[in-house]
Amino acid sequence: MARVIFSGIQPTGRKHLGNYIGAIMQYVAGQERGEPAIYCIVDLHATTVAYDPAQLRERVHDTTAILLAAGLEPERCILFRQGDVAEHSELCWLLTSVTALGELNRMHQFRDKSAAQRELVSAGLLLYPVLQAADVLAYRAHEVPVGEDQREHLELMRNIAERFNTRFGAGTLVIPEHRIPEVGARVRDLQEPERKMSTTGGSEQGTVYLLDEPDAIRRKFKRAVTDSDDPPVLRRGDDKPGVTNLIDILASVRVVSPQSVEQELASARGYGDLKLAVGDAVVEALAPLQERYRALRPDQQGLEDVLAAGADKARAIAAETLADVRAAMGVGRDRRANGRVRGWV
């Protein structure tokens, strides 16, 4: 059976190693399997917190160039901007009818982000996971590659889809499954390893950005917080978040198992060797991405062309789902004729 893969990513110019290992590496691998693999830059989600409208399109271009530089190929996947496909917003509204307010209030991300807002906690921030559900469900995706931090939203999305099917018609929506990597699902801040590496919540020194200079990357790893075990113990464990994080990052960028990294480091003199090895490996892994990014980013028209072509393909799929959802809910004129979607009038 064809496996549709879908994932969304926020538009920022500062994607970090957590985004790369938790999500972007999986996106690239998903191109092999997805039928199709669909990736969306979620500019509508970006409007749920304070932002600068003049910068939003720039950030979308930054992220598009990063994804292409990381290995997404427009011929092998569908890459587009959420705001170019109106079906996402419409489906979000329709799905609110099967979403409980209490569930949205309980989401950890809503609680954290609403506490961080200085002026306005927007209703959009509360509805964020419903729009996310609409993103995925519009494509009847089976698989959603994400990091560990999105587990709760994925569960909610499944509840929404199940409730919709029970209320309005079995089989209308596909119940998606998350795909969280076994290693690297939660890359931690290098300075505060009890927290995840994050765009908004982390420390500058603890966050490795994909476009950081090689020296800066090595320096951040050199200063990474480990622990005070004496003698140093180079193994993973819940009691050793800093060391575990470094081993997991090294394993992820080399695409080997953490056990093989532990074996390799068995004769190391201390944490310094681990920090050097992981710094070098990350610099090496990111070098081709950085080079391609520098070539791609100035061509704004080329990036827009990729997004526009992706949006056309995405819209064609989402429109079919929307027609079925509207029909099942009895909303608007029935746009289906002989099972096919008629033009929007």
Residues that bind ligand AQP (CB under 6 A): 9-10, 12, 15, 18-19, 21-23, 146-147, 149-150, 185-187, 196-201
Task: Give me the least distance between CB of 196 and ligand AQP, in Å please.
Answer: 4
Task: Give me the least distance between CB of 46 and ligand AQP, in Å please.
Answer: 9
Q: How far apart are CA 289 and CA 80, in angstroms?
A: 20
- Written as one letter, the residue type at 340 is R
Strand-pair category, 336-337 with 78-81: unpaired
Task: Give me the least distance between CB of 18 and ligand AQP, in Å please.
Answer: 3
127 with 153: CB under 8 angstroms?
no
CB crowding 209-247: b at 16 or more within 10 Å, else e: bbbbeeeebbebbeebbbbeeeebebebeeebbbbbbbb
Task: Give me the least distance between CB of 187 and ligand AQP, in Å please.
Answer: 4
3-class secondary-structure state, position 262: helix
The smaller minimum CB distance to ligand AQP, of residues 107 and 325, is found at: 107
The smaller minimum CB distance to ligand AQP, of residues 9 and 94, is found at: 9
The smaller minimum CB distance to ligand AQP, of residues 12 and 244, is found at: 12
Q: Which two tokens stand for residue 206?
A: 């603890």
Q: Which two tokens stand for residue 157?
A: 């999305």
Task: Give me the least distance between CB of 261 and ligand AQP, in Å please.
Answer: 18
Task: Give me the least distance between CB of 56 and ligand AQP, in Å please.
Answer: 14
Question: Which residue do the tokens 């950890």 mark?
Answer: 108
Q: Which two tokens stand for residue 237?
A: 């464990």
Contacts of 22 (CB under 8 A, 6+ apart): 146, 147, 148, 149, 180, 181, 184, 185, 186, 187
Question: Which residue do the tokens 């099917």 mark?
Answer: 165
Q: How far apart are CA 72 and CA 79, in angstroms?
A: 8
The smaller minimum CB distance to ligand AQP, of residues 140 and 196, is found at: 196
Q: Which two tokens stand for residue 240?
A: 């050793």
Task: Give me the least distance between CB of 52 and ligand AQP, in Å please.
Answer: 16
Can you name the residues that pair with 261 across neighbouring β-strands? none
164 with 173: CB under 8 angstroms?
yes
The smaller minimum CB distance to ligand AQP, of residues 62 and 324, is found at: 62
Can you name the residues that pair with 7 across neighbouring β-strands? 39
The smaller minimum CB distance to ligand AQP, of residues 15 and 240, is found at: 15
Task: Give me the least distance between CB of 113 and ligand AQP, in Å please.
Answer: 7
The smaller minimum CB distance to ligand AQP, of residues 198 and 321, is found at: 198
Question: Which residue do the tokens 């394993």 mark?
Answer: 251
Task: Give me the least distance between CB of 16 and ligand AQP, in Å please.
Answer: 6
The smaller minimum CB distance to ligand AQP, of residues 132 and 172, is found at: 132
The smaller minimum CB distance to ligand AQP, of residues 22 and 279, is found at: 22
Question: Using CB atoms, what's the residue nearest to ligand AQP?
Answer: 22
What residue spans of the chain are helical by DSSP H? 17-19, 25-33, 43-46, 53-70, 87-95, 101-106, 108-116, 123-137, 151-168, 214-222, 241-254, 258-264, 271-296, 300-329
